[in-house]
Amino acid sequence: MMPAKDYAPIDQNWLEDAGNLWTTPWVDKPSERVIVDPIILSHAASLFRKNAGYFYQNPDEAVRMVCAACELYDVTPVGHYLYADYWGLDYGAEIKMQTNSPPGITKRPIKTAEDVDNFEVLGTDELVKGPTLTTHYKALDTVLEEYPKMFAPITQLGGTMEVATNWAAIEDVFMWMITEPEVVDKLCTKAGDHMVNACRATAERYGANVMITGSVIASGDLMDREQIKRFSFQPVSRAVRKVLNAGAGPGVYYHLCGNHTDDFEMWKDAPMSPFTIMQIGYDGQNIFPTSKLVENFGDRCTCFGTVDTKIVDRGTPAQVYEQARDQVIAGKDSPRGFILGTACECPTNAPPVNVHALVKAAKDFGKYEKF
């Protein structure tokens, strides 16, 4: 373990400059260039010669590593701590800690379609005492105490399909979509109710909340447009409205992972606050073009343009730099601001030179021209 005293102090001049870059999309305050957010999580552990399992088992040290990595790369100064298989554990699932990847659910609480009717969503007070928020708040409290200027009160949720498949096996949920779709309707409605309660918990604790939601499993590679609309877009939108109406915002980050060629347009009607980010991973097998993102969402929210995560993981610095250059040029003057990043979480063992190339492209080509 490395306690806080073993980390070098964050350069406060850098932090002030990085903070100005980060807030530009929302305050319309002139700054030098667009900010970069490679979604650094367990990649930070690799910089300290630790593995992903270590990162997820030590949330306080994990966020220290993330904050140090933010300064090293000169990227969004926020102490992230997130992982995909949240929430199952709160409802009786079993999780396996893994050496080189995030925790994985090995046993889920919902076994049959009949279980869905009897499944009860936990209230805010119960979630606060549960394993997910207990771990998550340990990370957030560490950032708040040790890196207060890098703190953001985030609730990681995924979409309703992601929460649903943390409760029931994905193969069962997909079978029910065909044979008993009304069962999946109930499951996704309950997932949305859970999302609202979790966001309320974070907002009550910290006075604000940034809701990370959207659609990962519900992409065009696994579901058709109507299924995405019914089991993802509609229940997610319902949940986001409830979150905002309950005062459990104001941040909404739509993370649409995977291929969204056939359904991205419906998300133009998703509920948005003034502090909303829209990120779409892929258009078919190709990275989603920032020009298309700005055309469809630029007048409503901040656009998060992306570089292919596979290139960041296995490509050359030149490949990363060239794709980042094209994406940042297309998006830097989006009406409500722009962020450059990766299509999903920065791979754990991505070469640091590739992350550097991503940031370098933003510095070389991301100077704002609208101010």
Contact 159, 216 (CB under 8 A): yes
pLDDT number for residue 86: 74
Buried b (16+ CB within 10 A) or exposed e, 188-200: bbbbbbbbbbbbb
Candidate CATH numbers 3.40.50.10160, 3.20.20.210, 2.70.98.10, 3.40.50.150; the one for domain 12-366: 3.20.20.210
Say which residues have a Cβ less than 8 Å from residue 218's Cβ, sequence separation at least 6: 159, 161, 227, 228, 231, 232, 233
pLDDT number for residue 16: 94
CA atoms within 13 A on the CB side of 25: 28
pLDDT number for residue 87: 87
pLDDT number for residue 370: 67
Distances (CA, A) of 332 to 78, 306, 325, 359: 21, 12, 10, 14
CB count in 10 Å sphere of residue 112:
12
**Virtual torsion, Cα 122, 124, 126, 130, nearest 10 deg:** 100
pLDDT number for residue 321: 98
As a whole number of angstroms, the distance between CA 82 and CA 77 comes to 15
Nearest to 264 by CA among 324, 331, 304, 215: 215
pLDDT number for residue 364: 97
Q: 310-314 — which CB contacts under 8 Å span 24+ positions?
A: 311/354, 312/38, 312/342, 312/346, 312/347, 312/350, 312/354, 312/355, 312/358, 313/347, 313/349, 313/350, 313/354
Q: Could you write out the DSSP letters of every residue in 58-95?
A: -HHHHHHHHHHHHHHHT---------TT-STGGGT-EE
Nearest to 62 by CA among 364, 348, 337: 348
As a whole number of angstroms, the distance between CA 57 and CA 76 comes to 24
Span 200-250, pLDDT tens digits: 999 999 999 999 999 889 999 999 999 999 999 999 999 999 999 999 999
pLDDT number for residue 368: 84
Instruction: Enter the DSSP assignment of 222.
Output: T
Tens of pLDDT along the chain (371 residues)?
Answer: 788 999 999 999 999 999 988 888 877 676 889 999 999 999 999 999 999 999 999 999 999 999 999 999 999 999 999 877 778 899 999 999 899 988 889 999 999 999 999 999 999 999 999 999 999 999 999 999 999 999 999 998 889 999 999 999 999 999 999 999 999 999 999 999 999 999 999 999 999 999 999 988 999 999 999 999 999 999 999 999 999 999 999 999 999 999 999 999 999 999 999 999 999 999 999 999 999 999 999 999 999 999 999 999 999 999 999 999 999 999 999 999 999 999 999 999 999 999 999 999 999 999 987 65
3-state helix, strand, coil in the chain (%, to 5): 50, 15, 35
**Terminal Cα distance for the chain, rounded:** 46
Span 156-175, pLDDT tens digits: 888 999 999 999 999 999 99
